[in-house]
Amino acid sequence: MRLYHSPTTPFGRKVMVLLLETGQIADVEVSSVAGTPTDPGTMPVSENPLGKIPALVPDDGQAIYDSRVICRYLDDRAGGRLYPAAPRLWRTLTLEATADGMLEAAILMVYEARVRPEERRYDPWVEGQWAKVSRALDALESRWLDHLNGPIDMGQVAIGCALSYLDFRHGARNWRAGHPGLAAWYEGFAQRDSMKSTEPPSA
Ligand SMILES: N[C@@H](CCC(=O)N[C@@H](CS)C(=O)NCC(=O)O)C(=O)O
């Protein structure tokens, strides 16, 4: 299988962590690509018309995206390890969706600073994106610590990758402030081999 990826994409990292946790990393050949919404660069647009990564091309040649579908596919391929049976499954999927929503907002903030010309930037929009992240952090601290501290699942992997991305791109926002339980959980989760070996280059 071919995985289109980049060492800095947190969505791709979710897939890499799942591959490591389920013992499938050797089954994948990684192609490193790069691009932005204004310049797809080397993004696999013929595999994913949305021009986004990760994208996975299994041996049958039919591309799979986005990261949530890829993770579900690969977990199924491994016999189902990181998505539990219902009813816990609905909690796992909601946690994963929360992480992905945090990441979408955090990445839009990066693109705003990097891609949009300075004179066209709109600070309230940027702060609106951070407000989404901030509310999600509060919800994780107040409602999700029991789940996070339970058996590993894809929701935890996604949140681990999202928190690491906040450190990587938005360190000055100091997400740990006011979220001691979440910070403590993350310190432990970040020690997993799958997390350590997929850290973004300058993190
Ligand atoms: N919902 C997608 C989001 C993927 C995504 O936004 N990836 C970024 C890299 S971290 C990307 O490809 N950006 C290029 C673009 O938006 O054109 C997923 O879960 O895979």
Name the residue at shortest CA distance from atom 12 of ligand 1.
52
Q: What is the pLDDT of residue 89?
A: 98
Q: What is the pLDDT of residues 133-154, one digit of tens each?
A: 999 999 999 999 999 999 999 9
Helices 180-189, 123-143: axis angle to 10 degrees equals 80
CA distance 98 to 100: 5
Distance 34 CA to ligand 1 centre (A): 11
Name the residue at shortest CA distance from atom 11 of ligand 1.
52
Q: What is the pLDDT of residue 39?
A: 96
Average pLDDT over residues 25-53: 97
Q: What is the pLDDT of residues 146-187, one digit of tens each?
A: 999 999 999 999 999 999 999 999 999 999 999 999 999 999
CA angle in degrees (0–180, nearest 5) for 84-90-95? 95
For ligand 1, which residues put their CB under 6 angstroms from it?
9-11, 35-37, 51-54, 66-68, 100, 107
CA distance 88 to 138: 21
Counting ligand 1 atoms within 8 A of each CB, the residue from 52, 56, 100, 111 with the most, and so the one to mutate, is 52
Distance of CA 200 to the CA centre of its chain: 12
pLDDT over threshold 60, residue 203 = no
Ligand 1 atom showing the smallest separation from residue 35 Cα: 14
Average pLDDT, the chain: 97
Name the residue at shortest CA distance from atom 19 of ligand 1.
67
What phi and psi, each to the nearest 5 degrees, are found at residue 79? 100, 10
Q: What is the pLDDT of residue 17?
A: 98
Lowest mean pLDDT segment, chosen from 8-12, 20-24, 113-117: 113-117
Average pLDDT over residues 74-88: 96
- Segments of the chain assigned E as strands: 2-5, 29-32, 55-57
Q: What is the pLDDT of residue 202?
A: 75
Counting ligand 1 atoms within 8 A of each CB, the residue from 11, 111, 114 with the most, and so the one to mutate, is 11
Instruction: List all residues 6 or more positions away from 13 whose beta carbon is below 8 Å from its beta carbon.
Output: 161, 164, 198, 200
**pLDDT category of residue 82 using cuts at 50, 70 and 90:** very high
Q: What is the pLDDT of residues 191-201, one digit of tens each?
A: 999 999 999 99
Number of neighbouring beta carbons within 10 Å of residue 144: 21
Distance 9 CA to ligand 1 centre (A): 8
CA distance 8 to 54: 11
pTM of the model: 0.97
